[in-house]
Each structure stands twice: as structure tokens, then as C-alpha cells.
Amino acid sequence: MKQILAALKFSSGYGALLLILSILIFSAPFAVYIVLMLFIFAICILEGMKLILWLGFRNGADVKTNLNKPMLSVHLAICNEPPSMVIATIKDILNQDYPNFEIIVIDNNTSDASLWQPVSEFCDLFENIRFFHLEKWPFYKSGALNFSRKVTNFNAEFIFVVDADYRLTADALALAVSNVEGPDIALVQFPQAYELKEKRHVPIIEEFDHFFDYYCFKADTCHGALATGTLSLVRISALDRVGGWPVNSITEDAELGARLQVAGFDIKYVHRIIGKGIAPIHQEDFIKQRKRWIFGNMQTLGNYSMRPWHNFEKWLSGVSQLTAWANMLGFPIMILICCLFLSPWLQVETFISFTALVYVGYWIFAICKALRLQLVHGRPSLLAFKTFLIHFSSLDIGAFHWYPILLGKDRPFIRTDKTGSNKSYKVNLLYPFLHLSLLFLAIGAGSMFVGLSALVFCTLHIVAMRFDFTCRAASDTEISIDLKLCS
């Protein structure tokens, strides 16, 4: 019991919040129940919006081809990246079947000269490449991209952004330019695809791809897709009009897409792979990236000034994309924990009413998520279920990691490791323990719905963790046990 209580005490203040909730459940249960109902209602609204998105708003345009060849400026921002990987990416850019482009490589805040100097020396061999090393440069990647905008050739009309680990197809630039249909298209976005190195990684890659296969693909039916950073072609005049790359969010790409939408521009998503990067397979890297995406996108959502009465289609598309990895289960989960610890003193009716309502939210979220994954495949699919397990294994991150935004807190931009050196895996047993305990309490209280729900989600958490471990872990992976509210 002491270990469980200690696990719930961390700097974000969840321990204090659980204590306050426990007091309120005793002193003002009706008020807490109303708040819980509002969270369940929010789950219904968000999940409903995402299902409406699947219906689309018009037929998406086919990939177009034109003969315009404006000058491009390819921007590659790097920080503490392996030089061999960066040079391989630069070589792919140099081999593009496109006649008129420059390359700007910006290394920001890499203290180890052995990482950036080989890249600088390679860039010096080519006239159309410029390399800049920036020390103590502010605002992470967006700061580097804003610097590169300042030194961009004044003849360039578009910027093509690529990450350091991406290998491009030879027609990437030509295909990107060919999809600029008119002056209202401010940005063309391609899927952020990943290389598949082992067959066991397929469900992990599929979980990443789901964002593009579902959200971006359907958002393009109203030109409402948001930017995802790498493999994006940005119109320079539109970028300048919205003030450059945003520095108020750690997902500057999504924030830029939102600003372009609000400014009246369109964003075109092209469902075609033009490059593949290195996926954050290992658990630690995956969690770092997913936390950054959730926190940054929810930052953007808080600043999102698009209103549904201005353009309902783009508003729905934008909100759906920004909440793709977040969920509203955090508060309901804390209610479950409070009910567990307070069970000796709670009336049976109070215990059942709170836990039953929480599990209604659980069921709505799980069923809608599974349905969206099946819709992408078009028929019942085992791969869709495996992808669901990968997503469910990180349920706690989506439930809690955006809460600090409500208190005005910031998070640093944390890059993921590209060397594949992480070999540890943490097994969080808090949620199986929580649902298993509630199962026994529900049996004693005589609630079939709560008991069955607790059994299902206890099993689902265990199966999801086991499957996620199988997909990610190597033979020498170190395993540790956690009891944490949020990974």
C-alpha cells in the first residue's frame, strides 16, 4: 500500500488532486458526479466528432501534375544527430529529380563538435548547400527553422522541411510542387512514414500510420489537414504572413497548420509516401515522442482561434487531429482510484454509481477507437486489433499528460534517440491492479456491469502491455516494474 501511495505522489500534483477528490466524494458527491458526467459527455463529443470526420466533406482531389518548377529551399534542422545519418539524408536531397533548389542545414545547440563538423565538411563540397552551426539558440526546432527562413534565397517561393533521419524518394520535391493547386494552398503535407526493420514492429508502425490514414486523409476532404512537420512544402509568403514558425508550442508544425487555417489558407494532404524515417520503437523513445505530440497539440488546441461557425468542416478536422492521441479519461480514472481507497467507507450505491459511470466512459472510448481502426482497414482485421492494443498500452499518457497545460505549465522539446540504444521496458501494473481490485469490490456490491467491465479492462491492460512488450523489446531488454498514474 505504501508503494502505491508513493507512486501517486509526483510533482504534477496528482496526489493532492486525489486527496481533494476523496474529500469531495464524501462532502459533495453530487457535485463530483456532475463533473464526472461532464467528462463522460466530453468523451462522447470527441469520439463522435472523430467518427463524423470519417464521413468526409467532399471527394478528395487526385494527385495532380503540372509543369511549374519554382525555386525551393530545403530546410534540414539537426541537433545531436549521428553525422552518417544526416549525410545520407542530404545525399537523398541532392539526388532529387528537380532542377531548382537550395539546401540549408541548421545545427542548433549541438555541443559535441564531432557530431556537427563532419556534416559541415560534407556540405562545404556543394555550392547549393549552406551549413549553419548555432550555439545557445532559443526555441528548439522552431527557432532553427526561423533562422533558416531569414537566410533563405530571396528567389525561393517554397520551403520543403525534412527531418534528419528521413530517406527521400527521388521524385519527392517534384511531387510536392505538383500538388500546389493554387494560391490558397499554403502547405502540402505528406505522410510521416517509417521504415519497417522487423516484422514484429508492424503493429507499432500501423499505430503511427493511423493518424495519417484516418485523420489527415479524411481532413483533406475539406483541405483541413494540419501540418506534421517533416515532408511538408510551405509557401513562404503564407509562412511570413502568420509570423513564421510558432515558438509557443513544442509541436510547432501543428501550431503552424492551425494558424494557416485561421488566416484563411488551405492545407493539402497527399496520401502518398515520399520518404521514410526511423521509428521510435523502444518504449522510452515512443513515450517521449507521444508525450511531446500530446502536450504540444493540446497547447495548440488551447490557442486554436478557429470557430465552428466560421468553418465547421475545418474546425472539426482541426480539433479531431489535435486530440488524436489525447483522451478525457484522466479524471474518471482518478475517480476509480478514489472509489477503491474509499470503498470501506462509501455507501454501496455511491460506489456503484461512480464506478459504473466511469466504465461507461471507458467503453465508449475503447469501442470508438477500435471502430476507427477497423474503418481504415475496411473489414474486420486482426492487424486493427493488434494496433488497438499498442494504442491502449499508452492510454495513461493520453489521459494525463496534457493536464499541466491547464495550470499554464510548459514542457521542453525532447528529441528521440535515433541510435536505437534504449533497451529498457517498464511494466506499469497500477491499472491491472486497479481494475482487479474493483472487480472483487463489484462482486461484493452485486454490480454485474462494474464487475464485468473491471474484468474486461483488467484483461485488456495486461494483454496490451504484454503485446506491446513483444513488439518492442529485444532479447536483452531490461524489465522494471512501475506503479504510476502516468508513464
Specify whether 258 is located in the same domain as 386: no
Q: Span 148-169, mean pLDDT? A: 98
CB 105 within 8 A of CB 123: yes
pLDDT-based confidence at residue 8 (cuts at 50, 70, 90): very low
pLDDT, residue 9, reads 45
Asked if residue 421 and residue 439 are part of one domain, the reply reads: yes
**pLDDT computed for residue 310 by the predictor:** 80
Residues 240 and 376 in one domain: no
The domain tally of the chain equals 2
Task: Report how far residue 303's alpha carbon sits from residue 298's, in angstroms, rounded to the nearest whole number.
Answer: 9
Same domain, 297 and 332: no
pLDDT at 418: 64
Q: In this prediction, what percent of the chain has a pLDDT beyond 70? A: 93
pLDDT band at 123 (very low <50, low <70, confident <90, very high): very high
If asked whether residues 240 and 178 sit together in one domain, one would say yes
| One domain, residues 308 and 190 | yes
pLDDT tens for 445-475 read: 999 999 999 999 999 999 999 999 999 988 7
pLDDT, one tens digit per residue, over 405-421 is 877 776 666 667 666 66
Residue 250 within a domain: yes
| Res 12 pLDDT > 70 | no
Looking at residues 239-244, what average pLDDT do you find? Answer: 97
Question: Please, what is the end-to-end C-alpha distance for the chain in angstroms?
Answer: 19
User: Does residue 120 sit within a domain?
Assistant: yes
> What pLDDT sits at residue 16?
85
Q: What is the mean pLDDT of residues 306-320?
A: 88
Sheet order of strands, 167-168 included: 167-168, 275-277, 193-194
Task: Tell me whether residue 487 is in a domain.
Answer: no
* Tens digits of residue pLDDT in 254-278: 999 999 999 999 999 999 999 999 9
Write down the pLDDT at residue 277. Answer: 97
Judgement on whether residues 183 and 294 belong to the same structural domain of the protein: yes
The CATH number that applies at residue 186 is 3.90.550.10
- Edge-to-edge, what's the strand order for the sheet holding 129-134? 129-134, 101-108, 72-78, 158-161, 232-235, 185-189, 266-269
Range of the domain at 290: 72-322
Q: Of 278, 294, 322, which residue is a domain's last?
A: 322
Of 322, 342, 361, at which residue does a domain stop? 322
Average pLDDT, the chain: 92
pTM of the model: 0.92
Which helix H or strand E contains 269, and what residues bound it?
A: strand 266-269
The residue that leads in pLDDT, 14 or 69, is 69
Residue 21 pLDDT more than 90?
yes
Residue finishing a domain among 301, 322, 343: 322
Q: Quote the pLDDT of residue 11.
A: 41
Lowest mean pLDDT among 78-92, 278-292, 301-315: 301-315
Domain presence at residue 186: yes
Rounded Cα–Cα distance for residues 65 and 175 (Å): 8
Shared domain for 310 and 344, answered yes or no, is no
What is the per-residue pLDDT for 486?
86
Looking at the structure, tell me whether residues 9 and 89 fall in a common domain. no
What confidence score (pLDDT) does residue 1 get? 46
Our measurement of the distance from residue 253's CA atom to the centroid of its chain's CA atoms, rounded to an integer in Å, reads 12
What percentage of the chain has pLDDT greater than the value 90? Answer: 81
Task: Outline where 13-139 has alpha helix (H).
Answer: 14-27, 29-55, 83-94, 113-123
Residue 98 predicted with pLDDT over 50: yes
Residues 76 and 213 in one domain: yes
